[in-house]
Amino acid sequence: MVGAMIPSPFVAGVGFACRRIVDPVAYRAPAEELAAIGESWVARRRTEFLQGRAAAAEALRAIDRSGPVPRGLEGEPCWPEGVVGALTHTRNLVAAAAAPRARLLGLGLDLEPAERKVSGEVSRIVCTPREREWVDRDLAVAGQQRPGLCLKLVFSAKESIFKATFPHARVRLGYHDAELELRDDHLEAMLQRDAGPALPAGSRLAIGFAFPELGPWSEASGPERSGSYLMTYLAIAARPT
């Protein structure tokens, strides 16, 4: 099966598509997208790039838009005029989201394998001192179903924030440029510096998270094609309230 194996985490009006890396790529990439493929790219990178663009095309179709999504100078996907969006790929999955710019300033999306081990060293790089208070406390708890989950949440949420803000702000936010707090069912970020005119320091962003499960889809698929994922996502309103 192609598409829709992970339900959209976004509200209506945001196009979302998800594909397995191993799905057949029937997508005929336009020249603007093919131009981004580097000669040095290994087969795996070519495939994830093309699957990402196939997912982007599906997400655009879902909001009645179309057009190539070339790669910008800073690696960012360049969505068609009047559209914002985000792309992610991990182990076996790619996903894309797109929405009209009239509604949203930016979209963020990130997928990580849920069971990936993360070393405590990472928390020193990724977390602010205040985040480390709760992240390191979580890292110290033994025997958890999802060890190091808080650190993975912070890491993934910051990737999503980066993807949602960069195209608007043209500012490469660093890991300490947003500080996160864990709420009951989402994360709340406070920007520590300006990210473009509409997102001054002190702006608050809500980042959702989910744990999609991907089961094997055929007898032959094998365990490496299934698994648990962590997905973070955010949609920044065009006029933040």
Does residue 159 interact with ligand COA by CB under 6 A? yes
Q: Which two tokens stand for residue 182?
A: 């864990």
Backbone angles phi, psi at 141, to 5 degrees: -80, 120
Looking only at residues 30 through 69 of this chain, which bind ligand COA when binding is defined by CB under 6 A? Answer: 49, 52
Can residue 131 be called a binding residue for ligand COA (CB under 6 A)? no
Cα separation, 235 vs 208, whole angstroms: 9
User: How far apart are the C-alpha atoms of 19 and 227, rounded to whole Å?
Assistant: 14
Count of residues in the chain: 241
Query: Stretches 73-81, 135-143, 204-212, 218-226: which one binds ligand COA (CB under 6 A)?
Result: 73-81
For 45, the token pair is: 């990178």
Q: How many residues contact ligand COA, by CB under 6 A?
A: 23
Residue in 65, 132, 163, 225 binding ligand COA, rule: CB under 6 A: 163
- What is the closest distance, in whole angstroms, from the C-beta atom of residue 219 to ligand COA in the complex? 29
Question: Of residues 33, 131, 138, 177, which one binds ligand COA by CB under 6 A?
Answer: 177
Shorter beta-carbon distance to ligand COA: residue 112 or 138: 112
Q: How far is the CB of 25 from ligand COA (least distance, A)?
A: 13
Q: What sections of the chain are H helices per DSSP?
A: 31-34, 43-62, 120-126, 129-139, 149-169
Residue 151, SS3 per DSSP: helix
Is residue 207 within 8 Å of 186, Cβ to Cβ? yes
Question: Does 233 interact with ligand COA (rule: CB under 6 A)?
Answer: no
Rule CB under 6 A: say whether 88 interacts with ligand COA: yes
Are 50 and 29 contacting, i.e. CB atoms less than 8 angstroms apart?
Answer: yes
Q: Work out whether 161 is an interface residue with ligand COA (CB under 6 A).
A: yes
Asked if 21 is part of the footprint of ligand COA (rule: CB under 6 A), the reply reads no
Residues 203 and 211 sit within 8 Å (Cβ to Cβ) = no
Nearest CA to 51 out of 6, 82, 93 is that of: 93
Lookup result for tokens 């559209």: 83
Which amino acid, 219?
E
Nearer to ligand COA, 58 or 177 (CB): 177
Which C-beta is closer to ligand COA: that of 138 or that of 162? 162
152 forms part of the interface with ligand COA (CB under 6 A): no
Q: Which 90-129 positions form the footprint of ligand COA (CB under 6 A)? A: 110
Contact residues: ligand COA, CB under 6 A:
49, 52, 71, 74-77, 87-89, 110, 158-159, 161-163, 166-167, 173-175, 177-178
